[in-house]
C-alpha cells in the first residue's frame, strides 16, 4: 500500500465528515487528483452512524485531545437478564444481540424535500446512492400532549386537532404566507417591516392553537424572530410540501451516516483514493513550490491544497475545543405520543421542543424500525440542542423532563455526549482550509454552504458537483457514441461526445 500510493495530489482532504466528503467528491468530479484520509476506522467522523456495539465502544473511548466527541456517558436501564415470561421484554443482552440491526447517528438531520441537499443530490446524480423515507408526522406539544400538526391541505381538513373555524383560519393564513413577496408593495410587507413574526400572527387574529402550530412546527421560530425571517421559514416549509409525502421532510434510510459515504463513493468513482486508519503525522508548506508536504505512515506526500476537518492533528495542535452541540440518544420499547402518531408501528416523527420561557429549543426525532435504524419493537429518540456547558445531560434536562417524566416510555438505553468545535484556527495552518463543525440546524444548508465556499476558493473556475452520468450513458471503447441520447448527458460529457463524433467523421473521410 505504501509503495503503491502516489506522492503528488491536487487535493488532500483530512477527515471523512459530511462537509469534507462533499469537497473531496467535487474535486474528484472535475478531474482533480484527490487523497482522502481519516485516522478513524470508519467513514463520517461525528457525522457517522454506528451499530449498538460500536456506539458503546466509541462512547467508552478515552477522549483524545483532537476528538470532537466529548463528555460521553451512557446507561442501561434494565438488568442484564430479566424475566422471560414476557415475550416482548427487552434487556441489555437482547438489545446487544441485535447490535448490527442498529444505525445510531451522532449528528442526525432531517432534509427539506426542496432543500439545498436534496437539490444537490439530484443535480449531481448522487441520489442514486441513497434511499429516503418521508417523515410521517411533524408534531408539537399542546396542553402537555404531543399532537400532529396538519401539513397538507387534506391533513388540515381531516385533522381532529382543529375546529372547523380554525381550519379555515389556518388555510387562509398559509395561503397569505405562500403569496408573500409576489407584491413588493403588499400592505403586510410594509406594515410589519422591522417587527416580529409573532406580532404579525397576533394581528391576523388566529387562535392560540394555530399560533402554536405555526411558531412551533411550521415556521419553527421564536418570539423575537423578525417578520421577514418568519415568512421565509414558513415559505420554506410550504415549498417542500407535496413532493414526496404529506410532510415537507425526508430522512435517510439506515441513518444519516449514509450521506457522507454517498459523496465518498462518487469521489472514488472518479479516481479519489481513500485511506482509513491513517493519520497525518506532520505537515509543512514548501514556500518554493507553494505545495504542502505531509508526513503520513512514514511517507512524504505533496499536495497543492489541503482541507481538514476541525480537530484533526497535526493542523490542530494547541487548539482548544469548546462545547458546541449537546446530544441525547435514547432507545425505548415504546414510542412517544398516542396511537394515531404511531399507527402501524410508527415511522419518523419530528418534534420541536421549547423551554418554559421560549428562549431555548431542541429537536427530537423518533425513529422506528421502518427507517432501518433499529430492530422491530424498538424506537430511537434523538434529542439535540445548542450546548451551554460541559454537561449535555444538564443542557437537555429541561427537554427530557417534558418527554419522559409524563409519558413514561420504557427507556432501555440512554446516552449523552457533546459535539465540540474549535475556538480558533492554528496559526501554523493558515494556508489550510478548515471545514466548520456540525452546526445546530435541522437540514444540511450550513454544511453545504461551507463546502461550496471552500471549493470555490480552491478551484474558482470549476463547477461544484456537476451531474455524474448514469452507467448507460458511459461510452466504452468500441461502442458507437451516436447511440447515446445527447440531451440527457452532462455538459462535459456532451462535449466529449461531440469530439468523438467529429473524430469518427474525420476517420471516415480519410478512408
Model pLDDT for residues 333-373, shown as the tens digit of each residue: 999 988 888 888 888 999 999 988 878 999 999 999 999 99
DSSP 310: T
Question: Above 70 in pLDDT, residue 422?
Answer: yes
pLDDT score recorded for residue 247: 93
Nearest to 367 by CA among 243, 249, 264: 249
pLDDT digits (tens, 9 = 90+) for 58-82: 999 866 656 789 999 999 997 555 5
Question: Above 90 in pLDDT, residue 509?
Answer: no
The alpha carbon of residue 44 and the mean position of all alpha carbons in its chain are separated, in whole angstroms, by 11
Q: What is the CATH number of domain 1-51+253-319+426-483?
A: 3.50.50.60
3-state secondary structure 213-261: HHHHHHCCCCCCCEHHHHHHHHHHHHHCCCCCCCCCEEEECCCCCHHHH
Q: Using an 8 Å Cβ cutoff, are 484 and 505 in contact?
A: no
Alpha-carbon span 425 to 403, nearest angstrom: 39
Q: What's the chain's average pLDDT?
A: 86
Q: Do the domains at 1-51+253-319+426-483 and 66-102+322-424 have one common CATH topology?
A: no
Residues 419-433: what's their mean pLDDT?
Answer: 70
Homologous superfamily of domain range 131-135+146-250:
Guanine Nucleotide Dissociation Inhibitor, domain 1 (1.10.405.10)
Percent of the chain with pLDDT over 90: 57
CA angle 417, 423, 425 (to 5 degrees): 125
Question: Above 90 in pLDDT, residue 507?
Answer: no
Question: Above 50 in pLDDT, residue 86?
Answer: no
pLDDT score recorded for residue 85: 41
pLDDT score recorded for residue 478: 57
pLDDT score recorded for residue 479: 57
Q: Which residues are CB-neighbours of 185 under 8 A, at least 6 positions away?
A: none
Residue 229's Cβ-count burial label (10 Å; 0-12, 13-18, 19+) is middle
* Cell 449523552 sits on residue: 416
Nearest to 491 by CA among 461, 468, 458: 468
Q: What is the CATH number of domain 66-102+322-424?
A: 3.30.519.10
Lowest mean pLDDT: which of 193-197, 273-277, 293-297, 477-481?
A: 477-481
Distances (CA, A) of 443 to 251, 252, 259, 326, 496: 10, 12, 12, 17, 36
Residue ranges of domains in the chain: 1-51+253-319+426-483, 66-102+322-424, 131-135+146-250
Cis peptide upstream of residue 314 (ω within 30 degrees of 0): yes
pTM: 0.88
Nearest to 174 by CA among 229, 123, 239, 221: 239
Amino acid at each position: 500500500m505504501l509503495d503503491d500510493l502516489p506522492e503528488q495530489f491536487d487535493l488532500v482532504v483530512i477527515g471523512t465528515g459530511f462537509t469534507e466528503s462533499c469537497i473531496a467528491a467535487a474535486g474528484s468530479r472535475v478531474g482533480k487528483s484527490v487523497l482522502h484520509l481519516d485516522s478513524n476506522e470508519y467513514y463520517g467522523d461525528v457525522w457517522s452512524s454506528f451499530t449498538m456495539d460500536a456506539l458503546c465502544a466509541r462512547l467508552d473511548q478515552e477522549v483524545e485531545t483532537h476528538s470532537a466527541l466529548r463528555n460521553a456517558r451512557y446507561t442501561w436501564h434494565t438488568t442484564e437478564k430479566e424475566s422471560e415470561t414476557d415475550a416482548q421484554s427487552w434487556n441489555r443482552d437482547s438489545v446487544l444481540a441485535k447490535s448490527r440491526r442498529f444505525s445510531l447517528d451522532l449528528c442526525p438531520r432531517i432534509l427539506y424535500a426542496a432543500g439545498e441537499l436534496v437539490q444537490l443530490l439530484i443535480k449531481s446524480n448522487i441520489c442514486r446512492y441513497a434511499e429516503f423515507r418521508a417523515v410521517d408526522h411533524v408534531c408539537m406539544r399542546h396542553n402537555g400532549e404531543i399532537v400532529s400538526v396538519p401539513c397538507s391541505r387534506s391533513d388540515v381538513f381531516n385533522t381532529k386537532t382543529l375546529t372547523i373555524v380554525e381550519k379555515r383560519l389556518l388555510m387562509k393564513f398559509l395561503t397569505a404566507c405562500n403569496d408573500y413577496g409576489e407584491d413588493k408593495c403588499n400592505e403586510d410587507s410594509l406594515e410589519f417591516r422591522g417587527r416580529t413574526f409573532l406580532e404579525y400572527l397576533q394581528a391576523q387574529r388566529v387562535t392560540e392553537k394555530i399560533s402554536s402550530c405555526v411558531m412551533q412546527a411550521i415556521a419553527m421560530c421564536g418570539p423575537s424572530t423578525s417578520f421577514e425571517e418568519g415568512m421565509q421559514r414558513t415559505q420554506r416549509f410550504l415549498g417542500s410540501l407535496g413532493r414526496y409525502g404529506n410532510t415537507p421532510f425526508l430522512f435517510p434510510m439506515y441513518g444519516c451516516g449514509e450521506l457522507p459515504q454517498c459523496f465518498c463513493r462518487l469521489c472514488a468513482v472518479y479516481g479519489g483514493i481513500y485511506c482509513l486508519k491513517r493519520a497525518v503525522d506532520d505537515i509543512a508548506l514548501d514556500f518554493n513550490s507553494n505545495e504542502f508536504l505531509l508526513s503520513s505512515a512514514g511517507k512524504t506526500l505533496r499536495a497543492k491544497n489541503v482541507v481538514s476537518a476541525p480537530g484533526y492533528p497535526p493542523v490542530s495542535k494547541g487548539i482548544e475545543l469548546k462545547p458546541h452541540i449537546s446530544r441525547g440518544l435514547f432507545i425505548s420499547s415504546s414510542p412517544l405520543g398516542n396511537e394515531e402518531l404511531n399507527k402501524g408501528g410508527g415511522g419518523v416523527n419530528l418534534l420541536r421542543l421549547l423551554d418554559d420561557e421560549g428562549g431555548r429549543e431542541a429537536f427530537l426525532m423518533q425513529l422506528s424500525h421502518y427507517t432501518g435504524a433499529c430492530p422491530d419493537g424498538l424506537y430511537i429518540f434523538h434529542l439535540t440542542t445548542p450546548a451551554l456547558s460541559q454537561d449535555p445531560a444538564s443542557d437537555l434536562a429541561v427537554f427530557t423532563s417534558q418527554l419522559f417524566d409524563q409519558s413514561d416510555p420504557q427507556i432501555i438505553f440512554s446516552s449523552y455526549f457533546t459535539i465540540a468545535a474549535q475556538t480558533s484556527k492554528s496559526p501554523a495552518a493558515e494556508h489550510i482550509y478548515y471545514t466548520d463543525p456540525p452546526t445546530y440546524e435541522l437540514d444540511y444548508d450550513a454544511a453545504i454552504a461551507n463546502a461550496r465556499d471552500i471549493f470555490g476558493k480552491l478551484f474558482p473556475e470549476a463547477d461544484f458537483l456537476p451531474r455524474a452520468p448514469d452507467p448507460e450513458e458511459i461510452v466504452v471503447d468500441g461502442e458507437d457514441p451516436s447511440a447515446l441520447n445527447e440531451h440527457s448527458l452532462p455538459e462535459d460529457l456532451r462535449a466529449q461526445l461531440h469530439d468523438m463524433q467529429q473524430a469518427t467523421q474525420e476517420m471516415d473521410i480519410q478512408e
